[in-house]
Amino acid sequence: MKTPDSKGYFGEFGGKFIPETLTRCLKELESSFNFLKKDKSFNKELSFYLKEYAHRPTSLYFAKNLSKRVNLKVYLKREDLLHTGAHKINNTLGQALLARYMHKKRVIAETGAGQHGVATATVAALFGFQCDVYMGKVDIERQSMNVFRMQILGSKVIPVISGSQTLKDACSEAIRDWVANVENTYYLLGSVVGPHPYPLIVRYFQTVIGKEVKRQIRDKERRLPDYLVACVGGGSNAIGLFHPFFDDKKVKFIGVEAAGYGLNNKNAASLIKGKTGVLHGAKSLILQDKYGQISEAHSVAAGLDYPGVGPEHAFYKVTKRAEYVAVTDKEAIQGFKLLSKTEGIIPALESSHAVAYLKKLGRRAPGSIVVLCLSGRGDKDLDIVKAWEK
């Protein structure tokens, strides 16, 4: 089955739940994307920047020491080695090129922890866009280093003081800006979320991960893996790894969400604890209270701290194409240390959730061949882990 359908639906999820004023923006984006993804010079230029600027292809590394510890044969897809330290650059490079081919002069973005903001500010500097990044005031205070990074890169960070002053409010403000300035402005969204065609566009740019893995694992093992494992925030690194294997039914997908911690009952496991609803223009599984109000998410990993999830994951969940599990903050910290100590690789706290799940998988299915998406490096998280020790 080809997903999404022409209206942007993955089964019952996805679509476009948007104010009338956005229709034109999304139509323009969709037709440009459909044209450019087949355009030779666009794809040639994208390949050039992925290779020479971002440093693709990333290696598929057999983690021998870790494998012994978890009773599996684990390969790490090293997205942590990319420029800016995570998979996000695959998407921001792709969309920035899209914006350039659409003759836009300005890009805007939303950001929570600031990682997507930094990846956007990076490509804005590279391609010479004016760039404004919307960020909740609370997040600005929590993530001052990323704010400074964006400024150094020449972007402006606009504080959002409405609502809970976090990511979901920043999204709403960015959309408002886009509607008012669509003539010259491109809205660069950070994950496989939002109204159609964003989940499709971001998937297109992130599937470079899974396509490379397919080639690399065939070279190394002469067969496909038993499991693909990735952490899920909005879901872009996971979809990027999973999607190219969609029709390979023997390859099982495991998405690892953030269970947060039980203390205040807050978590970020939208697929496990969420209910069907609409957030930021798409129908998906969303954390909400019994009145349908969006709940605040919590995770020790800032990049997983989002109350929604991409509609394609909701579709994989209900059709059982993928299995979703949750890992607590505490387990994620253990995963962080495990990979650091066994392989000399310090993972992002987001990716550490996926690492942490390997122990359980090793008990369930010992000896399996597993590809884990190491979505980012952990230098950015050292302060958090240090504070955790106390």
Candidates 32, 67, 236, 375; catalytic one: 375
Which positions from 356 through 385 interact with ligand PLP, judged by CB under 6 A? Answer: 375-376
| Catalytic one of 73, 77, 88, 168 | 88
Cβ proximity to ligand PLP: between 15 and 310 the closer is: 310
Shortest distance (Å) from residue 287 CB to ligand PLP? 15
In the complex with ligand PLP, the residue whose CB is nearer, 311 or 376, is 376
Structure tokens at 168: 């979901």
Stretch that binds ligand PLP, among 42-50, 52-60, 94-102, 232-240 (CB under 6 A): 232-240
Nearer to ligand PLP among residue 216 and residue 352 (C-beta) = 352
- The reply on whether position 260 binds ligand PLP by CB under 6 A is no
3-state SS, the chain, equals CCCCCCCCEECCEECCCCCHHHHHHHHHHHHHHHHHCCCHHHHHHHHHHHHHHHCCCCCEEECHHHHHHHCCEEEEEEHHHCHHHECHHHHHHHHHHHHHHCCCCEEEEEECCCHHHHHHHHHHHHHCCEEEEEEEHHHHHHCHHHHHHHHHCCCEEEEECCCCCCHHHHHHHHHHHHHHHCCCEEECCCCCCCCCCHHHHHHHHHCHHHHHHHHHHHHHHCCCCCEEEEECCCCHHHHHHHHHHCCCCCCEEEEEEEEECCCCCCCECHHHHCEEEEECCEEEEECECCCCCECCCCCCCHHHCCCCCCHHHHHHHHCCCEEEEEEEHHHHHHHHHHHHHHHCCCECHHHHHHHHHHHHHHHHCCCCEEEEEECEECHHHHHHHHHHHC
Using rule CB under 6 A, residue 234 touches ligand PLP: yes
Of 173 and 305, CB closest to ligand PLP? 305
In whole angstroms, the minimum distance from the beta carbon of 390 to ligand PLP comes to 24
Look up 110 and say whether it is catalytic: yes
Angle at 301 between CA 232 and CA 212, to 5 degrees: 45
Among 88, 149, 203, 243, binds ligand PLP (CB under 6 A): 88
Of 167 and 182, nearer to ligand PLP (C-beta) is 167
Choice between 124 and 209, CB closer to ligand PLP: 209
CB contact at 8 A, 77 and 209: yes
List 14, 197, 233, 260, residue binding ligand PLP (CB under 6 A): 233
Out of 140, 171, 231, 297, the only residue in the binding site for ligand PLP (CB under 6 A) is 231
- Give yes or no for residue 350 binding ligand PLP (CB under 6 A): yes
Q: Is residue 88 annotated as part of the catalytic site, yes or no?
A: yes
Exactly one of 82, 86, 160, 370 binds ligand PLP (CB under 6 A); that residue is 86
Q: Which is nearer to ligand PLP, 75 or 242 (CB)?
A: 242
Which of the residues 16, 73, 77, 110 is marked catalytic?
110
Subset of residues 125 to 144 that bind ligand PLP, contact rule: CB under 6 A: none
User: Which one of 65-73, 269-277, 330-338, 346-354 is the stretch in contact with ligand PLP (CB under 6 A)?
Assistant: 346-354
319 vs 174: CA distance, rounded Å: 33
> Which of these ranges, 54-62, 102-110, 226-234, 286-294, lies near ligand PLP under the rule CB under 6 A?
226-234
Tell me if 156 sits within 8 A of 131, measured CB to CB.
yes
Please pick, from the candidates 235, 277, 311, 362, the single residue that binds ligand PLP as defined by CB under 6 A. Answer: 235
Q: Which of 15, 136, 303, 311 binds ligand PLP (CB under 6 A)?
A: 303
Of residues 385, 22, 340, the one with CA closest to residue 185: 22
Give the footprint of ligand PLP on this chain (CB under 6 A).
Answer: 86, 88, 115, 191, 231-237, 303-304, 348, 350-351, 375-376
Residues annotated catalytic, as ranges: 88, 110, 375
